[in-house]
Amino acid sequence: MVHGERFACACSNFNKLKRDYPVSKTYCFCCGGHFKYHYEIMLGVNLRVKEVVTSPLDSNGMNSCVFTFDIV
């Protein structure tokens, strides 16, 4: 989700908050689990969230959400 010239977090817990601090990527495993659910349905495979590569939360809006998944 792009907000102006920055990326906004898709998480409803954070996307409306005004923050002046970064949030750990660890928090984004929740969002990764949400994406995992939809990808499993679309692809017909079981996945595991391997890594949160980057997110708007830890990069102050400079990077989008990027997750790495393993097929299990």
pLDDT tens, 12-63?
Answer: 777 676 777 777 888 888 889 999 999 999 999 999 999 999 998 888 889 9
Show the DSSP H helices in the chain as ranges: 29-43
Pair 69, 48: CB distance under 8 Å? yes
Could you tell me the pLDDT band of residue 2, with boundaries at 50, 70 and 90?
low
d(CA 12, CA 24): 16
pTM of the model: 0.77
Could you tell me the pLDDT band of residue 8, with boundaries at 50, 70 and 90?
confident
Pair 55, 9: CB distance under 8 Å? yes
d(CA 39, CA 34): 9
Look at residue 65 and tell me whether its pLDDT is greater than 70. yes
pLDDT (0 to 100) of residue 42: 97
